Structure 1
């Protein structure tokens, strides 16, 4: 039986279960019930096939609460909008536990001198007013970590290495995040979190397999041996922290892996526009992404960073987001300039 037929059957079962369990099934459907049925048709196949009636009722109540939050937020004229995407039946607490990385802000393991400015960028370096590596064809397709695995650190590191390989060879490789999840365990913890710079250390030492040879399963697995390595790097560098001007110059040289603080609910439901955080200064970052450009946002006119995420193309703006830039005296909103690393 094909996967599309299986998905269709599963969605039908979900819809039937929802309708039969609804307390309103003998009266006219409410607008939110209609909206949820439409949502199930699109995203129901992403849910476990063993959902019970009680589970589905709970998911509906969570969905309803998120939709109320979305509609209220979107009516307030913010610089970005939210949408009932594939995470809309999850609580922020669930999303944080499954997909955000508590270890992203802990970098005390690195000794002084273990990294340096390999790109020789200084305060005198001039960089372009805008830059976009996606438009230049250097950035690989958006991938999806969201199989209940907190592996953003691996996806951010791999995306940076894929872009570096393209810059060096002109070839677009798809490399293995799963190898890092399974094998890079001296400091990183697989689906429980990790650090992108430690992933660079692993890749420099061992190389990295392709995603075809070592496919992503979204769970902790046993490290496979005797896998052909498709790429390697020499090491990693670190951009000057807490300085957006310097970060822009680094990004104009190559995509940069960064960590940021992601509001569990607003980030989870982000759709379009320029995402921002309310406060500046130090953040305990919780999510790793890749900065692939910067410039002025067409719709809002705001200066922004162009971010590649790892939640699939059905999240955000086709898998990407825009993050406000030059709003915190150069320090950066959401902790964006605190831990910028790049492979070499």
Structure 2
């Protein structure tokens, strides 16, 4: 009887110990974190996503997937219920994307901020979060279009690289090679001229400076010529007035000579003769100044030597040349 009592006591002890261990494990495995529920809306598929799949906010795990199903209002949409830690900063601009968990093929829900610099405005509990396609999803959707364009590009390359075009390309390359050789020879021929070019430029610079100095001298001579022309015009005007005065004096002297000629005025004849001689002298001077106005500036030139005079032979030789 005593053995049976010990056996019952031992069995009860083991049973109670097992229940305590199960309660402890259940206690530690229980999730007592406060969660907020959101709904992720997807217009495309959610491959690799399962219940209890993790939910990560900018790479940090903040929750898990509670349920997956089609939208009763629009069967083309998939609704994914997620439970997220209440302390997670899920804003009204947060969007979701599917990510791969290593090489297992399983997916997780990644939450990202549309504008990380904007002020945080938390999303209301139960709010719907749009699921955006990833880069791989966009590539998969545009794969047939890319493939068709690749085939079209390959066809065009085949048409471009036909036998005729390859022959023409070979001819063009040959001509290009000949042109390069001609250019090299031309450059070799121009190298001596290029080496002499600095000296030529220096000579051209010196020539330009001398030409500039000559132009300045010509401008000075032109200024002096203008002044000399003005002086000559002034002196010509004086000569014209002197010529007019001489003509008037000559006319006056002739009138006096005619008026005083006769026996009745013998005393006035010498005076009239002197006046006539003076008028003729003035007339000759005016004629000489009219012929050689430069004599006022440079003096009268001497008469050329005549036959038998010194310098006559040299003048004849100069005239013959």
For the aligned pair, the TM-score class normalised by the smaller chain equals under 0.3
TM-score computed with the length of structure 2 as normaliser: 0.16
- Bigger relative contact order, structure 1 or 2 (CA pairs below 8 A, ≥6 apart): 1
Tell me which structure has the larger Cα radius of gyration.
2
Higher helix proportion: 2
